[in-house]
Amino acid sequence: MDGVTAIDSYVRELDRRLHGPRRRKADMIVEVRDGLRDAADAVRAESGVSPAEAERQAVEEFGPVPAVAPDFQTELAVTQAWRTAWVFAIALPLVMAVTTLMWRAGSTGVAPSPGYRDLARATDVFLIAASVGFAVLLLALHWFARRSASPVLIVRVVGAAAVATVLAMMGSGLFLTMGAPTGGTSLWGALVGGLPTLPGYALLLYLGARCLRLTRPRGPGAGRPSRRPAPVPSA
């Protein structure tokens, strides 16, 4: 079949409107294209119409892109939230373990001040609580997606919690570095010293911000998450 077919045009428009994890989005597009081609083949076998007409009928039966895109967008948003929650649930305990080992390795026996000790303990408690919280959000994604409730709110909560957690970690790290008992440093010194950790923080911040971006209202040419349940992605 020469030129752009009805299925090709439909799939391109759907691809343009959807935003989210690339691999899952690519899988969706392939599934839609294959499903439409199978439907067109069935129409041809049943009615004997031309290939172009069979594709047109298959596309029409599947539904207009503005009507089907929200459900696909919801699934993409849930996939992003699922991955983000998993990363945070696993990464936060690792961050606490690594910082504890670094602290012990660099300790000179100088006793920290009570305020410094309280902040360090509060940071550890926060990391543990946040890790548990993200694990709970994973369960919430399961619960919402398997029932009649929309998971979009949980996706937004995951995104907001991720952004807030990263900002809290960065702030705590600056204060702990500036007030280190072995010799504190200025704010500028703490910022420069924290440059090696910036890529990791940037990645975590990006994951949270993307959850929020995928659920925000878009223009008329883009998909918006629907309020329908979405499948739960696998770990």
Domain boundaries along the sequence of the chain? 6-63, 78-214
State what percent of residues in the chain have pLDDT above 90: 52
One-letter identity of residue 56:
R
229 Rama class: left (phi>0) / alpha (psi -120 to 50) / beta: beta
Query: Rounded to an integer, what distance in angstroms lies between the CA atom of residue 92 and that of residue 65?
Result: 40
Nearest to 194 by CA among 166, 180, 173, 163: 173
Tokens 């994890």 map to which residue?
21
State the pLDDT at residue 187: 66
Query: Rounded to an integer, what distance in angstroms lies between the CA atom of residue 140 and that of residue 5?
Result: 41
State the pLDDT at residue 3: 63
What would the DSSP string read from start to end of 1-55?
--S--HHHHHHHHHHHH--S-HHHHHHHHHHHHHHHHHHHHHHHHHH---HHHHH
State the pLDDT at residue 151: 82
Range 180-201 average pLDDT = 69
Nearest to 36 by CA among 12, 64, 55, 51: 55
**Is the confidence at residue 49, as pLDDT, over 60?**
yes
Query: Rounded to an integer, what distance in angstroms lies between the CA atom of residue 122 and that of residue 61?
Result: 57
Q: 1: pLDDT confidence band, cut at 50, 70 and 90?
A: very low
State the pLDDT at residue 141: 86
38-60 in b/e burial notation, b at 16+ Cβ within 10 A? ebbeebbeeeeeeeeebbbbbbe
Q: What is the pTM of this model?
A: 0.80
State the pLDDT at residue 90: 93
State the pLDDT at residue 218: 58
